[in-house]
Structure formats: C-alpha cells, structure tokens
Chains A and B, each alone.
Chain A
Amino acid sequence: MKNRTRKLMAILMALAASSTMMLASCSSGNDSSTSAGNSTAAETGDTSTAEPQGDPYEVVMTYLYWGTLPTDFQMVEDAFNEKMLEKVNAQVTWVPLSFSEIGTQPSLMVSSGEKLDLMLCFQQTSFLDAVNKNMIIELDDLYAQYGSAIAEDMDVAMAGGYVDGKLYGIPSTRCRADSKGIIFADEYLNKYNLTVEDGLTYEDLDAMLETIKAGEGDAFYPFVMSGSGLTTFEFFHKIDFLGADAACGGMLQYDDSNQIVNVFATDEYMEHCKWMRKWYEAGYINGDAITATDSAQSFVQNGVGASYLLQTYWDMEANQELGLAMDMTMSNLTGTYAMTGVYQGQSWGIPVTCENPEVTMQFLNAIYEDEVLTNMFYWGIEGVHYVKDSENEGYINYPEGVTNATSTYTNPLGLYGAVDKMYQMPGIEDYFGKMQAFNDSITDDMKSPYLGYVFNTKNVKTDYAAVNDVLTQYRASLESGSVDPETVIPEFLSALEAAGINTIIEQNQNDLNAWLAEQG
C-alpha cells in the first residue's frame, strides 16, 4: 500500500513539475495580452467620463471583423463616439471579435456578467439559442417606442427578428428578396456558343456541361463545388424552410396544402441527387468536391472550372466579376422569393445583463437613421479613410495615394445599421438605382404565404441536434454526387427517422397550423 502511494505521489509530482514548466512558458504571452486588453478598456473608459455633457450611457457592443483588426480601429471608435453624442446621450465601446469568437464569446460575456449591451447574433441558430436560453430580451415595446428609423429601413426584413411572435432581434440585411442559382464564366459560354438564361432545367445544364467537358478535357470540371458542408439542393428548388432549416422539414412549393414535408424524402430530392451523381461520374463535378478546401471561385479563376452555385441576388453577378476579374453570367434557378429565411442571418440583440435597454435601443436606432454612422463602421472617417465622389451621389473613393491594400480602416462585413445606405466604391454603375429597381420588382406572388412564421426548435432540441448530426454525415456527399443516391438515400432516410425528424416535422406542423389560425 505504502509502495503504491509513493508511486502515485511520484506520478503527481512529475505531472506537477511538467505543468509548472508549461505555465512558465505560457505566462509571458498571457501577461502581455491581458495588459493590452486592460489598457484599451481603460482608455475608452476615460473618453466617456471626459465628456462634459451629462452622464452618457456606455454602450458595449460586439464588433465583428474579418482577418486582422483594422489599424485605425481606435481612431474610428473615437470619431464614432463624437458623432454619436450629437444624437443620443451614449458612448460606445466596441469589443472586437473575430469570426471564430463571435459564436461563443458574447454568451460567455453574458453568463459571466461582463458588461455587454448589444450583441450580434451571427446565425439564426445562435440567435434562436440566445432567445431560448433567455440570453436576450424582448424588444417589442422598445422597438415601438424608439425604433422608427429601424422600421423605415428594415421594413419587411423585420420578419427575421421574431421568435414565437415576439421581437427579439433587429436584423441587418439589404436583401428584400432573394434567389439562388448558378453562374458561368463567359469565356466558356462564348467558346462553345452557349447561352444562359434564368430558370435553366437539369436537362439544359446537362447538355451545357457535356459540351464544355467534351471541349476542355479530363482535368477540367465544368461545374465546381467545394467544402465538407456543401449543399446543392436548395440552389435548384425554391424551398421554404419556414424560418428554420432542413432538419425541420419544409415546403417545395407555395401551395395551399400547408403541408410540411421531409424534403429529403421527396421525389425531387431523389431526382436531384441522381443528376448530381450522373454529373459527378461523368467528371462534370470535381471529384474532390467534399474534401476540397479551395473555394469554387478559385477553381474558375485558376482555369479548371466553368460554373458554380451561388445566391443570385441582383448585384451578385457584378460582385463576382469584380472579385474574379472575369466576365460572368448568372442564371436564377429558383425564381425570386421572399420568405422568412431571407431576413434571418444576422441580427442585433440586447442581452439580459444590459442596464439601460432604452438608451441602447435609441443608440441602435441612431445607427440605422444616420448614414454617416452606418458608413463609419464600414469605411471609417470621411477625408481620412475615404473621400466622397462629388459627381456620383453615394459613391466614394480612397484618398490620394491610398489603395485597398494600404487603407488603414475598412470593415467590409456590412453588419451595421442601414446597409442599403452604404457607400459604394466605383465598380457597379448606378448601384442605388438598380437596387431600387430590384426592390420595386418584388411582387406579392414572390412572397411566401408563411412569411413571418418562424419555427422554434426549443421543444424538440434533442431530435434537432440528432437530425443535424445525420445531415452533416450524408448531405454533402449525396448532393455533390460523391455517393450513389439509389443505395444511400434509403439509408439516409432511415437514419433521419431514427434521429427523430418526424417528431420535429409534426411539431412544426402543429405550430404552423396554430400560426395560420391566428393569422385568420
């Protein structure tokens, strides 16, 4: 016994000694980062107290950035504060978060009681999660009282912020309707005399891909896709997921049946996967689709691909052309639609720990109201980071001697305020006119009869987690044609059923029926 205790001690000692070494080697790095964090907090704290005008409320908000934090982050934050004080008696502290942190950091801040007044819910799942865990508060009253600019600006898109009939999030989107489809590089269209129009069928695409493949040879893939989480089905069919996702069923058509179905059990799904399988086996689709980590765009840019799937929002073609520096033509395959899902994605919520939701709401409203504030997030300070184009309203350019690469402030995520008032760099002519024309072209028959209905997965969360897990296992390989649908779809469906998809759909159907009854 004694012998054994001694041995245990020896092991513990060894562990302890080795962890001390690790501690020593890590500590220097930790120190510097924490002290840096403290100093920025202290600085911003100083600026807010130094303001003479009463006692401005300090709004702490998440600030999402892409890549590295812009050099002039602090400078823009100070300028933003100055401008904000003119409108609302509030000061801001931005909490910079990278993409890898945005999902978890805000909830950690709320649960640990750290001050946070405005948080970005970056995806519908994290938004719903925040609502169901009571992490963010109801906004109906605040919105009615202080949200006039938001209402004017977001309009129909406000549908994305509701859960169980109550408003929890303020969406930030410029989409008023959306569509999905495919885009081709003109180079190959011209070479093989092909034309692209909206609403191409599988047969049309099959013929086009065959021609391109025959002409370009073995190591060329006319239809490229990539990623272990890729999906293709919803790019070919207009599917209303009713404010939730594929795990909760959906509707392939806007009809009057009000019947939610398991989209993976439909004939359309089988047909779709068969086409994908055919294209995969014929070498139209890249064989490494589900394991490739390069984007589909990069395949086309490198001259080994001709087309890929994308959202076909009105300015996407021009966007892709600018990004790839190639001429492109896109085809809207699903038709334009306006359904709840279009407006979900990013929304602003007010955490339960916020001490002054009234001022926070006024603050948020001010960002939607004032295009200077909106654009400050995106482009920085006028005269320093950008100059206005005197001839074209709404267009800007970099100041003399500054380029995209040397600019010290830009945050091209567009998540803040009235994103349709965002200034444009030269590239797309008559941007604002075209946007207006698109918004005006949205007709009532594009609108889903279930617009505004959002399915809450709260009561079926075990089934939902299990079904999602099955989806990650099967969807990408089926929808890229990597596996044979005839044998795999039956297996997929039985796995979905075992995981509980029918329970979810049943719940969804009940909720929808109740919602419809309420709408009258």
Chain B
Amino acid sequence: MVRTQKKKIRWQRFLPVYLLALPGFIYLIINNYMPMFGIIIAFKDLNFAKGMLASDWCGFDNFAYLFRSKDAWVITRNTVCYNIVFIILGVILGITVAIFLNEIRNKIAVRFYQSVVLIPHLMSWVVVSYLAYALLSTDVGFINQSVLKPLGAGPVSWYTEPGYWPVILTIVHLWKSIGFSCVIYYSSVIGISTDYYEAATIDGANKWQQIRSITLPLLKPTVITLTILNLGRIFASDFGLFYQIPRNSGVLYPTTRTLDVYVYNALMNNNDFAMSSAASVYQAVVGFIFIMIANGVIRKLSAENALF
C-alpha cells in the first residue's frame, strides 16, 4: 500500500519531464519506427504499376546477390573487426591522453594541448581524405617523396595495396576521434578527489602506482558506459572513414569495404531500391544480433552495467 503510493507520487513528480520528452518520442516514432515499414521492399519484386504494397513477394531473391560471392562475409568481417579494434584502442589511448593532460600543471598549456587534440574531430572527412592523400599519393605524396625516397626505398603504391589499410584506417580513425573521447575521460579524471592522491603521496606511492591504483579503478564506470554505447554501433561503420579515406579504390575493397559503403555503392551502381534495402535489412538484423550478444555478455559479467 505504502509502496504503490510512493510510486504514484514519483510518477507525478516526473510527469513534466516526460512531457518535455514527448516531442522527441514522437519524432523518434515518425523518423525511426515508421520507416521500418519500408523493410517489405526488400522482399518485393517492385512493380510501379501495381504499387509498392501490391507488388509480388519474391522471398529472399533480393538478398541473393549479397551472398553470391564472398562479399557478405568480407564486409561483415571488416565492419565488426574494425569496430572492435577501434573500441579497444580508443579506450586505451583516450585514457592515456586524458591522464597526460591531467599531469600538466600549466593551465595555459593544458588548454592548448586539449584544443590541439580536439581539432581533428572537428574536420570533415572530405578534408581528412585530402590530408591522407597528400601523405599517401603515389606521385606527389609526402611519404613517398620525402620519407621513402631519402631512405633509398622505392615508392609504395598505397592505394593499390590492401595490406596496409587496416593500419592506415586505424591510425586515421584514432587521430580523428581521440580528441573527443579523451575529453570525456579527462572530465572524469579531474573529477577524482585530490585527497586520494595526497594520501598516496604520503604513503610513498609513485606516479605509476597512483595511476594504477587510484585513477584507473575510478575510471571504470565511465569506460563501461562508453564501451556499451560503442558496442551498440558495432555493426554500423563510419561511412566517411571507409569511403572517403581509401578514395573508393576498388583494389582496396578486401580490407576497406564495410556494409555502409557496400550499400551506398550498390544503390549508386544498380539504382535498385529492393536490393539496397535488402542490404540494409541484413545490416539491421546482424546489428541487432550483435547488440543482443554484447548485452548478454555484459549482463553475465556485471549485471548492473547491462543496457537492458
């Protein structure tokens, strides 16, 4: 009896907050849920004379081209593996940079370095693509002309060698994203009470011991939250990174093509709504499975941090 009353009061107390969110909910439903109806196109033999709803069903025919070659496997592998590498390295580097920033005592210097690491995050992928091209271009690129040549090495045709690209893409991604993620970690790090560090210093702990025993454990909740948010997007790739940076070079597809790029190319080449939405449905379904698995694993490991 007492409990239900309590619950009621709380519900009433939060009502204005729910009302505040109402336009957003409506927007979510209109923008994210209603278009899901379009999924049926993926299973239709589209015929404009009959209209979208009355077109004949064609089962999984539209999906067939995805699985005709090894493409489906390669793009799925690329999308997931890149994201896993990005998440792991992003956490490690983000925390490292945040701790470095925290150790700088000069206020002006901190502001300066913080801005410098954040600048890449503000650049458009097209601009970054040209920066990468300036470095990697075969004829006039900085690396071929000013690094390899003086060393006596022959020029490398970067855009036709798929082997280098997992490393290149990882570097470019980290370079661009680290500024933003380190800001989040940095705000957690400066939130840690200095009392802990003072006590540790009195006990004779050196810097490394302080970081290992104070900073890192206290950062754990932030790390878990950010990782879960990233895991939710594990099957979505950053289109700008994978399309603009390799400059859509066909030779590089085995190591650079992810699902978003594939869907984009398929739509541009084939102009076929049904096949493109088939690829999108595939992305959505596999993405959903991944989120369920990730959440299940987290729930096993630490139930309170699970998303649902």
Which A residues have a C-beta under 8 Å from some C-beta of B? Answer: 3-4, 7-8, 11-13, 15-20, 23, 103-104, 107, 110-111, 125-126, 129, 133-135, 219, 221, 228, 286-288, 290-291, 293, 351-352, 461-466, 468-470, 472-477, 482-483, 495, 498-500
B269:A472 contact, CB within 8 angstroms: yes
Q: Name the A residues within 8 Å of B49 (CB-CB).
A: 134-135, 352
Q: Name the A residues within 8 Å of B17 (CB-CB).
A: 13
B24:A17 contact, CB within 8 angstroms: yes
Q: Name the A residues within 8 Å of B27 (CB-CB).
A: 16, 19-20, 23
Q: Name the B residues within 8 Å of A351 (CB-CB).
A: 48
B155:A287 contact, CB within 8 angstroms: yes
Closest CB in chain B relative to A355 CB, distance in Å: 15
Closest CB in chain A relative to B148 CB, distance in Å: 13
B266:A469 contact, CB within 8 angstroms: yes
B21:A291 contact, CB within 8 angstroms: no
Partner of B160, one of A126, A461, A483, A500: A483
Partner of B24, one of A3, A19, A125, A500: A19
Q: CB-nearest residue of chain A relative to B25? A: A16
Closest CB in chain A relative to B186 CB, distance in Å: 21
Q: Name the A residues within 8 Å of B23 (CB-CB).
A: 16, 20, 23
Q: CB-nearest residue of chain B relative to A122? A: B271
Partner of A465, one of B137, B253, B275, B307: B275
Q: Name the B residues within 8 Å of A104 (CB-CB).
A: 271
Closest CB in chain B relative to A438 CB, distance in Å: 33
Closest CB in chain A relative to B70 CB, distance in Å: 8
Whole-angstrom distance between the alpha carbons of A134 and B49 in the complex? 5
A15:B24 contact, CB within 8 angstroms: yes
Q: Name the B residues within 8 Å of A477 (CB-CB).
A: 160, 249-251
Q: Name the B residues within 8 Å of A291 (CB-CB).
A: 133, 137, 159, 247, 249
B231 within 8 A of A: no
Q: Name the B residues within 8 Å of A500 (CB-CB).
A: 68
B73 within 8 A of A: no
Q: CB-nearest residue of chain B relative to A482? A: B160
Q: What would 8 A/B residue contacts be, using CB atoms closer than 8 Å?
A: A16-B27, A125-B270, A228-B247, A287-B139, A287-B155, A290-B159, A463-B68, A465-B266
A111:B160 contact, CB within 8 angstroms: no
Q: CB-nearest residue of chain A relative to B247? A: A291
B198 within 8 A of A: no
Complex A-B, nearest 3 residue pairs according to Cβ-Cβ distance, in ascending order:
A16-B24, A287-B138, A134-B49
Whole-angstrom distance between the alpha carbons of A508 and B108 in the complex? 71
Within 253-293 of B, Cβ neighbours of A (below 8 Å) are at 253, 265-266, 268-273, 275
Say yes or no: A17-B21 contact (C-beta < 8 A), given A228-B247, A291-B137, A462-B61.
Answer: yes
Q: CB-nearest residue of chain B relative to A470? A: B69
A290:B68 contact, CB within 8 angstroms: no
